[in-house]
């Protein structure tokens, strides 16, 4: 059973956030150019105020129902993104509440975006850079056609590299996503988690999705 995280200390969250920004600076990037998204899948709604008090402004949820519930209970100053696998039937539930969906990766989702999206809707397309069998994401070779079929504005790409024991093992996958974004003129790269965000930042991440490193 997954353990939820309780008892966040805003002072500690702020100190962790400052350390992440230092790592970003050490990677040769301007910290203001890398958005730090707090992944709240394992965080109860009552802890969200502590996140905001600790300086977090951007949060991401993996599940549609939990996103709607937490957003209704959390502080209004938080900006929400959806970062998990998205079922097409949940698109209409998520869209009104988020800035970006990071995980658009199927034609069925595109169909629902066409039905429920607006001129203001912005999304990221998930790319299965490593070609892992059974993993979500568009194959790199199929990206051009997928982008052409997308009925809303695509502002960037997202990827989850294969599980690795060393952060450096993720580097070629992050570099490949950066090249794809460059080829298609896309601004945002959502890549890097607690384990490998420093490498992702070195490879051009504009959004890093962090969990425990912000909460411990």
The confidence band for 4, taking pLDDT boundaries of 50, 70 and 90, is confident
Prediction pTM value:
0.96
Give the rounded distance of the alpha carbon of 216 from its chain centre. Answer: 20
**pLDDT at residue 99 tops 70:** yes
CA–CA dist 87, 105 (Å, integer): 10
**Residue-level pLDDT at 21:** 98
What domains sit in the chain, N to C, each tagged with a CATH number? 10-215 (3.20.20.10)
CA–CA dist 9, 14 (Å, integer): 9
Q: Tell which residue, 134, 210, 211, 207, has the closest CA to residue 177.
A: 207
**Residue-level pLDDT at 80:** 98
CA–CA dist 170, 159 (Å, integer): 11
The confidence band for 95, taking pLDDT boundaries of 50, 70 and 90, is very high
Write the pLDDT tens digit of every residue in 103-145.
Answer: 999 999 999 999 999 999 999 999 999 999 989 999 999 999 9
The confidence band for 150, taking pLDDT boundaries of 50, 70 and 90, is very high
The confidence band for 83, taking pLDDT boundaries of 50, 70 and 90, is very high
**Residue-level pLDDT at 2:** 63
CA–CA dist 94, 179 (Å, integer): 29
**Max CA pair span of the chain:** 47
**Residue-level pLDDT at 3:** 82
Q: Tell which residue, 2, 20, 1, has the closest CA to residue 215.
A: 20
Residues 158/124, Cβ–Cβ less than 8 Å: yes
**pLDDT at residue 1 tops 60:** no
Contacts of 153 (CB under 8 A, 6+ apart): 121, 122, 123
Three-state DSSP class for residue 204: coil
Residues 209/183, Cβ–Cβ less than 8 Å: no
Write the pLDDT tens digit of every residue in 190-201.
Answer: 999 999 999 999
């Amino acid at each position: 059973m997954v353990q939820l995280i309780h008892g966040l200390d805003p002072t500690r969250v702020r100190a962790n956030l400052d350390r992440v920004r230092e790592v970003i600076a050490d990677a040769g990037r301007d910290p203001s150019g890398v958005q730090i998204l707090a992944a709240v899948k394992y965080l109860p709604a009552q802890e969200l105020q502590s996140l905001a008090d600790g300086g977090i402004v951007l949060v991401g949820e993996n599940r549609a129902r939990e996103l709607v519930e937490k957003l209704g209970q959390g502080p209004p100053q938080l900006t929400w993104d959806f970062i998990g696998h998205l079922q097409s039937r949940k698109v209409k539930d998520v869209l009104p509440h988020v800035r970006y969906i990071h995980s658009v990766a199927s034609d069925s989702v595109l169909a629902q975006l066409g039905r429920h999206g607006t001129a203001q809707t912005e999304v990221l397309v998930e790319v299965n850079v490593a070609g892992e069998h059974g993993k979500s994401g568009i194959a790199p070779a199929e990206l051009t056609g997928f982008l052409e079929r997308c009925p809303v504005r695509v502002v960037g790409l997202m990827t989850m590299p294969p599980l690795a024991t060393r952060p450096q093992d993720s580097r070629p996958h992050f570099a490949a996503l950066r090249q794809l974004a460059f080829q298609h003129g896309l601004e945002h790269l959502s890549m890097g988690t607690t384990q490998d965000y420093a490498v992702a930042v070195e490879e051009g991440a504009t959004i890093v999705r962090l969990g425990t490193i912000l909460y411990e």
